[in-house]
Structure 1
Amino acid sequence: MSVQRVSTDSISSLPDEVLGKVLSLLPTKQAASTSVLSKRWRNLLSLVDSLDLSDDATATGDPRGFPDFVDKTLALLRNSSIIKRFSLRCEHTHDASRVDNWIRTVLERRSFSELHLESEYIHVIETKSFASDTLVKMRKKKMMMMIVFLGLVHRVTDRCGDACVCVAKEEEVCCLSTCQVKVLKVSGYRGTRRELNQMKHFLGNLKCLETVKVGVEVENHREDKNVNKNYQRITNALTKLPIASSNPFLLIYPLCN
């Protein structure tokens, strides 16, 4: 008993900045739960610089309560100026406007630089009136999630600049052209026409890309010639896409299922 008490007191006596770093390494749900330990931990969540949010039942219990948890967490951190990383994993469907608001909320922070999104369902995310000049790393898992950056060049747009109310259509200004994203990671890529068009759009407009990693989803049959041919077809199509940035590192690798 005495050993446990000493250990607990030792952790609690650490500086706020150190405890904030420790909490940043935990899933946000777990980090938030530490606020009930004692008064010492009550307000430490505001010191985290990384948010890791998942509606996985093992992490949150009832996924129906996940949106409320995210809303409350972001409200608690509304005055935080140190959030650098935001990870959102959704295994269930949620109201698109709420998901959009979560992403817009973190992208509006000047300290923000890294975005991770994962979804089992199609989400078209439309975020308005924000600038993300500090965003340098973006990761998408499941190509069916569409990430739309709005307000980088103009205020309102749809499908990453394909339709904008404030720019004449003949100008064809794409909001991604000024985006500072340097790293793009995609997993679960299957090489469909829609996915290929989306990759073409990103690679053709993200001028600051330095690294592109694409995990191609293939059947786990290494001896199947058709599987190998399909993987080669997908790889060839990706390597032929025009790239706006100069000499980025492109890595394409198989993901067996």
Structure 2
Amino acid sequence: MRDSISSLPDEILGKILSLVPTKVAASTSVLSKRWRNLLSLVDSLSFDESMVVYPNEEEATNGSQRFSDFVDKTLALLHNSPAIKTFSLCRMVMTESYKDESARVNRWIWTAMEKGLLELNLYAPNPGTDVSIEPRLLRSTTLVKLTICGHYAIRRFQRVFFPALRSLSFITALSHFCYLQMMSACPVLEELTIRDCEFPDMRKTIGGADVIHASIKRLVIVTPLPDLTDYYAAAAYFESTRSIVHIQAPSLVYLDYSSFVFSDYEVDDLDSLVEARLDLKLWMSTSHFDYDDDYFYDHHGYLCPPDDPSPHIFGDVTCLVAAIRNITTLHLSPDSLEVFHFCCEPMPTFNNLLNLSIESNNQRGWQVMPLLLESCPILRTLVFKGLVHKVTNRCGDACACNPQNPSQKNSKKMEKKKCCLHTCPVKVLEISDYGGCFQEVEQMRHFLGNLECLETVKVGVHPDKNREFVRANVMALPILSSKCTIQLL
């Protein structure tokens, strides 16, 4: 059979080999004389130690020279390469001493950077593979994207400068000083990701590093915090941090923020922000507050139930929520709904919000839902991932819940008012993971019977459920809007 691919020009073959793992690209050199020297045309290198096949378990656990030798030989073959655009390195185990291993890895990185490197991705997922990054690697006039993940040690440097860097990702332990130094060294930075980072020398920023940068357009912050299931431990930890998170990013367009709630947020008005994804978590369970009619604030400013002044609701997200009020798309986690209810006063009006996406589970309530929907005067698309949620006495008329609580027997009956869904301008309702259980059916009935402006309802059926049964169940529900059509996905 005719070998069509070998007849392609060298430059085309080099582009093709750049799209496959470097191990595969290097193996093509044994095909024929035609392929022997094509590796020098590869401009994207990806070295992943997890792809190495070790002869025995001992070498796989303790490391082997096999991977290191392969990287050394490959880089030697590329000494005549005109340019290397992308260099990715995933190191699984150490084969030498810490000092020797760091020197070798730094040499690999430097070899790539000398070729005008544009993108650098470093991964060291396993403890014991710690590599100390040399200062010379943190100065590049060509680098556009940098990702540092895992056990790479970044220490204090005198000179750090990335004048062309537009994307920076930290998924590693990092000192606060080095973080600030890196931020100041990237004048045109547009994307910043801080995921699972720890700032051991700076409690002040444990709730999500301060972000003060004029050019950042996309910001992702996911911060790890201790799992404090004991109330008093959580209270002590909160008192010791008293964190205030600062965000000053006037060019920000997209925000993805996941963290526990902290004392306060100092956030400038994010007028350029278009989309926000929030996963905010309370420090403790809200079970003490589910059925209380009144709250009060103690002398520290914490929200407390009237019958038990010991539990507190920590944190205040009022400033953060107010700063994102001009967005058009908002995604909220189940925890964020409770945070909005307990830690945001007052609720701002989202005058530009068109798309609201809400994730739900049976451990978190919908107490804030009526107020949230009333605060979105031009909302067009409402998306739910799941309809099952925790039943409380505060879900309001956005919910079909019927909580049975003895404390309600003697409570004053609330005056009837028009359901908040009647004034909700939503035209498209999307629901995923719909299983057709009793609570889901009642909630669906409530939506279809009260949303006057509905035009389209899209229902994604849970894969474990009988699709035809769910279809018949949904289609039998009464619909208030005469224009509404239902689609089962």
What TM-score, normalized by structure 2, do the two folds share? 0.38
What is aligned with 2:164?
180
Judge conservation of contact 1:101–1:127 (CA < 8 Å) in 2: no
Over 3 Å counting, the alpha-carbon distance change for 1:15 and 1:60 in structure 2 is farther
Distance 1:128 1:199, change over 3 A: closer
CA–CA distance in structure 2, aligned partners of residues 203 and 160 of structure 1: 13
Distance (Å, rounded) in 2 between the aligned partners of 1:60 and 1:32: 16
Matched, 1:90 2:91: yes
The alpha-carbon deviation at position 131 of structure 1 amounts to 5.8
Amino acid across the alignment from 2:212? I
The separation in 1 between residues aligned to 2:177 and 2:21, in whole angstroms, is 34
Identity among equivalent positions (%) equals 41
Match of 1:176, SS?
A: coil
2:208 counterpart residue number: 237
**Alpha carbons 1:60, 1:66 under 8 Å: kept:** no
Q: 1:145 to 1:52 in 2, by over 3 A?
A: same
Shift of 1:199: 2.9
How many Å separate the matches in 1 of 2:191 and 2:206? 16
Q: Are 2:110 and 1:117 aligned?
A: no
- 1:106 and 2:112 matched: yes
Residue in 2 that maps onto 1:46:
40
- 1:58-115 alpha-carbon deviations (Å, 9 max, x no partner): 33546421111111111111121121110011011142211111111111123x2110
Q: Deviations over 1:1-42 (max 9, x none)?
A: xxxx33xx0111122111111111111111101111111111
Letter of the 1:236 counterpart: G
Q: Which whole-Å deviations, capped at 9, do the CAs of 1:176-225 have from their partners, x for residues lacking one?
A: 245422101233x5xx6x454543332243222111123338xxxxxxxx
Q: Aligned partners of 2:36, 2:167: CA distance in 1, in Å?
A: 35
Partner of 1:68: 69
One-letter code of the match for 2:73? K
Task: Give distance in 2, aligned partners of 1:118 and 1:208.
Answer: 24
Aligned counterpart for 1:137 among listed residues 118, 137, 145 = 145
Once the two structures are TM-superposed, the CA of residue 145 in structure 1 deviates from its matched residue by 0.9
- Residue of structure 1 in register with 2:79 after alignment: 78
Name the structure 2 match of 1:146: 153
Sort the Cα spacing of 1:61 and 1:102 in 2 relative to 1 into closer, same or farther, 3 A: same
TM-score normalised by L of structure 1: 0.69
Gaps of 5+ in 1: 149-158, 162-174, 218-232
The aligned counterpart of 2:218 is 249
Which residue, 12, 23, 29 being the options, matches 2:6?
12
Within 5 Å, give how 1:156-235 maps onto structure 2.
159-161=156-158, 175-187=159-171, 189=172, 194-216=174-196
> How far does residue 253 in structure 1 lie from its aligned partner after superposition?
4.3
- Report deviation, 1:244: 4.7
Q: 2: CA distance between counterparts of 1:71 and 1:102?
A: 8
> Unaligned regions of 5+ residues in structure 2, if any?
56-63, 96-100, 198-203, 225-489
Secondary structure of residue in 1 paired with 2:212: coil
Higher-Rg member (1/2): 2
Separation in 1, partners of 2:114, 2:214: 25
Structure showing the higher helix proportion among its residues:
1
Decide whether the 8 Å contact of 1:104 with 1:130 is kept in 2: no
Distance 1:136 1:70 in 2: 23
Residues 210 and 248 of structure 1 are in contact (CA less than 8 Å); yes or no, is this contact kept in structure 2?
yes
The number of aligned residues is 203
3-state SS of 1:237 partner? coil
**Residues 116-159 of structure 1: per-residue CA shift (max 9 Å, x gap):** 000133210215499621111101112x31357xxxxxxxxxx3
Is the 1:179–1:206 contact (alpha carbons within 8 Å) kept by the matching residues of 2?
yes
The 3-state SS of whatever aligns with 1:236 is coil
